[in-house]
């Protein structure tokens, strides 16, 4: 240990003060040396007890995980819109070219597949996909080839259910088969409507046309309730009306085509019919003039269908090829098969309704 020599002043007070100052300075230096030696020794014995000062951490570090740069490989929304516009123009030009060149076919019923796929079905798809949000079940029960007869319930004041069923079969069946509907005479008597119906592949609801379609191997559809079903009041919703005299069963028996029961839920709520102006209907030559909560009070706005949630279920086929040739003329066979199809559809409707929690949300 260092020893500091002490000087004893002998003369004067001034030199004494200088000596005391030098003594204090020497002591301070000695204390600082001891403190530095102790700190260095402590750091050597416990390195973890001393940390070098680190620069402050920024609150936000621009790393790859936080940054979201727009890369050139990601298509922008503008590019998507441009691509859709280009595709639409190309498809329109191709459609016009084929129509002008006569590069399309029309069958004996007036069915124009080119018109139906390029014009008619694209108009219906937004209703099917976005407005009614149709869910389909059992579409595989329709055969991939050969004739078949789809029999469905009918409702909704306007036959929108028939249109949605045609989109379901064309777009969702594995073979994308067209659905040839058997419609009432009134549909073909209306200006414009009859022409579109023919081009879309539909024909009169009569046995000769039904048998011809089935023998041609087409999928036909019939709605046996007719105007009684589509025009019934909202209070009787999902209660099937009488299925006529079984004419559709006779056509299926004569051709050996299977019958596919089809149950549609959601169509009853698009135009809730709460009244009927009979004198006006007679004046206009219509089976009914409906009154809904929005029509005719709101005018054209009341024609917008309510966006109910739809379900379309195709049941198991009811085969008819095991019956003999005389079965199509037997009233008991016709009645039994008609009642069997009707009860199958009715029970399926009750089952679907029991699962539905909300008219508009499903």
**Mean pLDDT calculated for residue range 15-23:** 52
Cα separation, 291 vs 311, in Å, equals: 25
Sign of the dihedral defined by the CA atoms of residues 340, 342, 343, 345, in that order: positive
Residue 83: predicted pLDDT: 87
pLDDT of residue 129 exceeding 60: yes
Q: How confident is the model at residue 29 (pLDDT cuts 50, 70, 90)?
A: low
Question: Can you tell me whether residue 353 is helix, strand or coil?
Answer: helix
Alpha helices in 256-330 (DSSP H): 278-284
User: What gap in Å lies between CA 349 and CA 156, rounded to an integer?
Assistant: 15
Tokens found for residue 11: 């003369």
What was the pLDDT predicted at 182? 97
What digits encode the pLDDT tens for the residues 214-266?
999 999 999 999 999 999 999 999 999 999 888 999 999 999 999 999 999 99
End-to-end CA distance of the chain: 94
CA-based torsion, 276, 282, 288, 291: positive or negative: negative
Q: Is 149 helix (H, G, I), strand (E, B) or coil?
A: strand
pLDDT digits (tens, 9 = 90+) for 161-217: 999 999 999 999 999 999 999 999 999 999 899 999 999 999 999 999 999 999 999
- Mean pLDDT (the chain) is 86
Q: Determine how β-strand 179-183 pairs with β-strand 135-137.
A: unpaired
Give the SS3 label for residue 350. helix
- Helix (H) or strand (E) holding 270, with range, is none
User: Is 22's pLDDT higher than 90?
Assistant: no
Helix (H) or strand (E) run with residue 318 in it: none
């Amino acid at each position: 240990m260092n020893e500091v020599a002490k000087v004893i002043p002998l003369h004067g007070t001034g030199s004494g003060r200088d000596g005391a100052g030098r003594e204090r300075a020497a002591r301070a230096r000695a204390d600082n040396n001891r403190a530095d030696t102790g700190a260095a020794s402590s750091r050597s014995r416990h390195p973890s007890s001393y940390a070098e000062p680190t620069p402050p951490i920024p609150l936000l570090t621009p790393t790859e995980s936080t940054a979201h740069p727009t890369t050139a490989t990601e298509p922008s929304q503008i590019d998507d819109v441009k691509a859709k516009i280009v595709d639409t123009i190309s498809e329109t030009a191709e459609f016009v070219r084929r129509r002008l060149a006569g590069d399309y076919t029309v069958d004996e019923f007036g069915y124009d597949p080119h018109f139906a796929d390029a014009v008619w079905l694209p108009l219906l798809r937004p209703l099917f996909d976005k407005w009614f949000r149709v869910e389909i079940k059992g579409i595989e029960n329709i055969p991939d080839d050969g004739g078949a007869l789809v029999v469905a319930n009918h409702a909704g004041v306007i036959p929108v259910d028939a249109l949605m069923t045609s989109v379901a079969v064309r777009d969702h069946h594995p073979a994308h088969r067209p659905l040839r509907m058997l419609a009432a005479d009134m549909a073909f008597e209306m200006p414009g409507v009859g022409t579109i119906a023919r081009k879309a592949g539909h024909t009169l609801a009569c046995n000769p046309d039904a048998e011809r379609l089935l023998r041609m191997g087409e999928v036909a559809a019939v709605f046996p309730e007719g105007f009684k079903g589509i025009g019934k009041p909202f209070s009787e919703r999902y209660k099937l009306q009488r299925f006529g005299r079984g004419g559709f069963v006779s056509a299926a028996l004569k051709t050996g085509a299977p019958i596919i029961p089809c149950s549609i839920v959601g169509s009853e709520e698009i135009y809730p019919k709460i009244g009927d102006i009979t004198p006006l209907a007679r004046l206009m030559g219509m089976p009914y003039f409906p009154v809904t909560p929005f029509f005719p009070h709101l005018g054209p706005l009341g024609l917008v269908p309510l966006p109910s949630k739809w379900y379309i279920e195709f049941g198991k086929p009811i085969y008819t090829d095991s019956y003999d040739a005389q079965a199509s003329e037997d009233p008991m066979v016709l009645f039994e098969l008609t009642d069997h199809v009707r009860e199958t559809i009715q029970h399926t409707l009750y089952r679907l309704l029991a699962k539905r929690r909300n008219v508009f949300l499903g």
